[in-house]
Chains A and B, each alone.
Chain A
Amino acid sequence: MSAKRLSALLLTALMAASAAVSCGEDSPSEPVSNAVSSSDEAASGASSAETAASGEITYPVEGNPTVTYWCRLTSNASASVASMNDLPFTAELEERTGIDVEFIHPAQGTDKESFNLLVASGDLPDIVYYSWFNGYPGGPEAAFKNRVIEPINEHMAEWAPAYTAYLAENPEVAKMVQTDEGNYPGFPFIRGEEILWISWGPFVRADWLEQIGMEKPTTIDGWYEMLTAFKNECGATAPLTTWDKDFGIFNSGFLVGAWGMATDMYLNDDGEVVYGPAQPGFKDFLAEMQKWYAEGLIDPNFYANDRSAAETNLMNGFSGAIAASPGQGLGVFEKSLKEIDPSAGYTPLQWPTLNEGERPQFGQKDTYFNNFGLAAVTASSENKEAAYALLDYAYTEEGHMLYNFGTEGVSYTMEDGEPLYTEMITNPGEGMSMSQMLAQYTMPQDDFPFVQDGRYFMQYMQLDVQKEAIQLWQETDAEKHWLPPITPTEEESKEYGTIKTNLDAWRNEWCVGAVTGKNSIDEYETVFLPELESIGLERALEIQNAALERYNNR
């Protein structure tokens, strides 16, 4: 698959570039010399194969230990089982590692509250999988201080050789999953490849483009022309719609990115954190959007929309363009629209730029680790070594295949060196979906501590238009501009939280009014900016830049 090769290449290049970056003084002390690093294996995050094979941990481990494990029940698994204890995946994991796992799940949708209660009770299981970086007040360092969990630094080389090796080979990832003080809180969920980082992008009606005889537009002017034609020739009353209310239509730098900024905090070209709405050029963007809105190119209710409003607009042909996710957005809309009119359909567009031929600077792009979750071993655990061994297995080659593809011969087979899901997974019987089958044998659809494999993703996407979209949407330099997972200190994070809420509220209040024409663009300097300043923009940036500096020094 060319997509895979391309991303592997990109990743290799990326790693070569980052090889120069030091891991910092607290990096794993034991360099893993025998790790093999072919580009393919590195790309899939399984490069520590040799380490595991060299027998530092021999699975199954002896003594048949039992480990208790708190994590949320993934939504796809819950369709068929009440607990992960009942999954074939868990049975296989237990057999291979020789460790009995006892999963404890909070009720779905109550993760945060349940986590707080769990921690407050002081009665902790061996492993807790949670967003430790932003979910615990003060982050992992506070959790260490309060004796909730322990950094794994001391024992990781010995008890978690595969993960240690993985970090040694991926210094960029290692930087993300440690604290400013150089401590590793645990075992993270990592999206191993760039194609896994894409979850948002613009798409438009393909049949309408054909009808108006336009190529796919790439620039703002092209978009303007297209939306105007949608309105005049295709009968659209809200040509560009959205499912996010307030200013969400411009999320991820959609449209605004052409002017060289996002609507939120981002890194500028000098590597400083700045706030988009206060940047030069933002005013021009607002003026252009005011024009579009006045001409009826933007959904008149964009600031009050929700998913169902967007659905109504799209399915009735009131709208022909939106930026949304590839699954619940593009996938669902494409399939539904085809049921209404088989000749209709969507096509993804690249992130628009100001000038023809420019590479988009903004767009949605995630990274290896984005605070999704991290499995930490609790300070009170009496089975630490077994807990490490269980978690470390995910980063071995066998573990990597188990987590991503399941059991060979059951849920996947190897064809020409490529793992392919079996018929049982891809085409399950009545009433079951591929997601639900995957969730029984594998883990890649949900965040869980392992390295997600891009080869899963392309097989998982059911529609060609989705695959096309992912390829197109990743063509940006967004990674240069998005903030890395930086962590303000505990005190700062409260202060920052309040300022940021007020900044965003004011941005939504004033800027939406500017787009709808309620506020005059001329008041950008006289009303909008001074208010941002008085809310505390400067202080917010100071906190963010200090956190960024600590991050860069890791």
Chain B
Amino acid sequence: MKDSAAVSNKKRKTYQQLSYWGKVGRDIATNPVLYLMFLPVVLYYILFCYKPMYGALISFMDYVPGIPFWENEWIGFDNFVRFFNDRNFFRLFKNTLVISFSSIIFGFPAPIILALLLNELKSRTYSRVVQTISYMPHFISIVVICGLIRDFTMNTGVITQFLGIFGFPQVTMLGEPSYFVPLYVISGIWQEIGYGSIIYLAALTNVDQELYEAARIDGANKWKQTIHITFPSITPTIMTMLIMRLGNIMSIGYEKIMLLYNSQIYETSDVISTYVYRVGLLDMDFGYSTAIGLFNSVINLLILLLANKLSYKLTDTGLW
């Protein structure tokens, strides 16, 4: 993949002396087709992402629809201050992080493990059937899924009764603050494990099968093969997915939580998005909700940058 290898030694010297944009210019001159191929992508981002991006400025406005955009009143950081000063800010922030981190710690490895287990199945047909069925819950609307969760975890529900055999108390789980996060995380795994494993299954197809043959001849058992061959082969995919997942840390949708929580478990379940929803300002106060969104985005981006850096240090792979 070394285009510059084709460039002569003499030219390379001058290339290194060029300024940044000079180098870019040289790249374009050397590889016009490559840049032409990238042009539609750049155009897409400019037209559909960057052009309307001025809208993020709503965070600093008292925006009212109907007034031409630039004529809205500028109010500086008022929207942010209002949010930080909210009496619930700390609890919301904490719950958001706790739920998000728990989802990552337990939810992120689950599809990888599933993919590895599927990979070890001897029967391809069985593997396909498991794949196809395990990905189904992803398609069922969250309203239906949450209805099932609530139903099953009531004091008389199927899951509560089942756990009762092992001595768990027969209580309505969604009335107990300490049960919320586990329920949220486990149900998340239940719904997404199959769909999430697809990407890893695809990555596993690229593992060089000859490596296994060689390992077997060397007497490595399954476990060692997994650790030394399979896992390293899919590490770039895992890291890419992990970094992007970490870059979503503040983005917990309100819908699932709204469907599961109640006032008895606010202390562990109320997150930024549900609060904003409850304040009822989503539709009325664009400035406020955009400001909260921007706050989340900045944290997300910082975490993504940090994760990317760490990833380079640890595994020599990353987003760029």
Contacts and interface: CB of A to CB of B under 8 A. Distances in A.
B227 to A, nearest CB: 45
A148 B67 CA distance: 9
A309 B154 CA distance: 10
A247 interface: yes
A304 B65 contact: no
A304 B87 contact: no
A451 B124 CA distance: 68
Interface stretch (A74-82, A95-103, A112-120, A426-434): A112-120
B112 to A, nearest CB: 34
Interface stretch (A160-168, A217-225, A260-268, A506-514): A506-514
A132 to B, nearest CB: 12
A535 B85 CA distance: 12
B286 to A, nearest CB: 8
Given A301-B175, A303-B175, A306-B150, A494 B285 contact: yes
A366 interface: no
Nearest to A501: B279
A56 B86 CA distance: 56
B64 A142 contact: yes
Given A301-B175, A304-B264, A137 B64 contact: yes
Contact of A301 (B66, B155, B285): B155
Contacts of A246: 262-263
A344 to B, nearest CB: 22
Contacts of B264: 303-304, 509, 512-513, 516, 518
A502 interface: yes
A135 B281 CA distance: 11
A62 to B, nearest CB: 33
Nearest to B171: A300
Given A116-B65, A148-B66, A498-B86, A304 B262 contact: yes
Nearest to B282: A112
A543 to B, nearest CB: 15
Interface string A292-304: 0000000011011
A41 B298 CA distance: 62
A497 interface: yes
Contacts of B32: none
Interface residues of A, number: 40
B172 interface: yes
A146 B64 contact: yes
B161 to A, nearest CB: 15
A308 B285 CA distance: 33
A301 B172 contact: yes
A513 B275 CA distance: 20
A245 interface: yes
A516 B262 CA distance: 14
Given A301-B172, A308-B147, A498 B279 contact: yes
Give the dominant DSSP class at A's interface: helix
Interface in B76-119: 82, 86-88
Interface residues on B, range: 20 to 34
Nearest to A247: B263
Contact of B66 (A113, A146, A494, A497): A146
Interface in B272-306: 275, 278-281, 283-286, 288
Contact of B262 (A116, A122, A245, A518): A245
A304 B283 contact: no
Nearest to A143: B66
Given A300-B155, A304-B264, A502 B150 contact: no
Contact of B87 (A306, A494, A535): A535
A534 B279 CA distance: 18
Contacts of B64: 137-138, 142, 146
Contacts of A308: 147, 151
A305 B69 CA distance: 43
Interface in A490-535: 494, 497-498, 501-502, 505, 508-509, 512-513, 516, 518, 534-535
Interface string A128-155: 0000000111100011001110000000
B150 A119 contact: no
B285 A501 contact: no
B147 A494 contact: no
B266 A505 contact: yes
B154 A137 contact: no
Contacts of B280: 497, 501
B174 interface: yes
Contacts of A509: 263-264, 266-267
15 contacts: A120-B66, A122-B66, A146-B66, A147-B66, A246-B262, A301-B155, A304-B262, A308-B147, A309-B150, A494-B285, A497-B281, A501-B275, A502-B88, A505-B270, A508-B266
Given A142-B64, A508-B266, 9 more contacts: A247-B263, A303-B264, A494-B285, A497-B280, A497-B281, A501-B279, A505-B266, A505-B270, A509-B267
Identify the 6 closest CB pairs spanning chains A and B, nearest first: A508-B263, A120-B65, A146-B66, A119-B65, A148-B66, A112-B283
Interface of A: 112-113, 116-117, 119-120, 122, 135-138, 142-143, 146-148, 245-247, 300-301, 303-304, 306, 308-309, 494, 497-498, 501-502, 505, 508-509, 512-513, 516, 518, 534-535
